[in-house]
Structure 1
Amino acid sequence: MASKKSPNPIDIHVGSRVRLRRMMLGMSQEKLGDALGITFQQIQKYEKGTNRVGASRLQNISTVLKVPVSFFFEDAPGGQGEDGGFAEAPRSYVVDFLSSSEGLALNKAFVRIEDPKIRRKVVDLVQALAAGADEEE
């Protein structure tokens, strides 16, 4: 009787930010669920946006993931955008990058490189590879 409606874009965004932060910390869905007293399946539903995260639960998640509640709404659809004064430019590419397993692995490895000259060489290598991929297209 109740019709299946698609998740709200804000719920999807908040869920993706929960997933991003959880992955940045290397925390499993099960571990986050245990800390909140809920199942990992519920965490999956939050992360997909199929279940809306209530205010008190979002506060608990922010405490466990060690970020302010505002973190979950950064770059949300329908946000301030260019009219926000000092608002930063959208960083969706950063979120997309860190949401991928390759991006997360690359980021974790990169921050462990202490020598700035080697870090620069890594950036130069990635830029050269990207330029090569552009030429092949």
Structure 2
Amino acid sequence: MVYRFYTLALFKVWQMKRDIKIGEIIREFREARGLSQMRLAEMVGVSYQQIQKYEKGVNKISIERLKQVSDALNVPINLFFQSENWMVSEPKAIYGKITEEEEALLQLFRKIKDKRLKNTILKLLKTLAK
């Protein structure tokens, strides 16, 4: 009985953290797009107070509503579930849809284990991009 209660309590904590992280990601994408809570609310069909509650993690967001939000923000819904660590900084790096070439470059770059080599490649790319 104690084990079951403990498991349920851990699950509730995980759910709360998940709701907060999803809310943070919504806020980051909204701000990156230059949208107010009011404008996003209009696009989704809810009140701006509801958007506030989603962003703070006070209210859970249904998958259907999250799909509406992701469509309004023009981001794939899977970005809200990228990592078990619920990394929030990733949405800031996304400036629209990634091309096939960009995806291939990222996949290859992630396979490189040597940090010095990665830094050298980054320096080269920065030089080439000027």
TM-score, scaled to structure 2 = 0.55
Secondary structure at the counterpart of residue 75 of structure 2: coil
| Pick aligned residue for 2:33 from 25, 28, 45 | 25
**Aligned pairs, number:** 84
Residues 1:38 and 2:46 are matched in the alignment: yes
Cα-to-partner distance string for 1:43-97 (whole Å, 9 max, x where unaligned): 00000001000011011111101111111122344x7xxxxxxxxxxx55x359x
Distance apart, 1:37 and its partner CA:
1.2
Q: Which structure shows the higher helix fraction?
A: 2
Structure 1 segment 37-76 matched on structure 2, within 5 A: 37-76=45-84
Shift in CA distance, 76/44, structure 1 to aligned 2, threshold 3 Å: farther
Deviation at 1:30, TM superposition (A): 0.2
Q: TM-score, length-normalised on structure 1? A: 0.52
Separation (CA, whole Å) in 1 of partners of 2:79 and 2:45: 22
In angstroms, what is the RMSD of aligned CA positions?
2.8
Change (3 A) 1:28 1:48: same
Structure 1 residues 76, 12: CA separation in 2 closer, same or farther (over 3 Å shift)?
A: farther
Deviations 1:78-130 (A, max 9, x none): x7xxxxxxxxxxx55x359x5xxxxxxxxxxxxxxxxx67x98xxxxxxxxxx
Q: Which amino acid aligns with 1:48?
A: K
Q: Which amino acid aligns with 1:36?
A: V
Secondary structure at 2:60 match in 1: coil
Aligned equivalents of 2:79, 2:44: Cα separation in 1: 18
* 1:1-137 mapped onto 2 (5 Å cutoff): 8-77=16-85, 92=88, 94=89, 98=92
What is the identity, as a one-letter code, of the residue corresponding to 1:34? E
Q: Which runs of 4+ in 1 moved over 4 A?
A: none
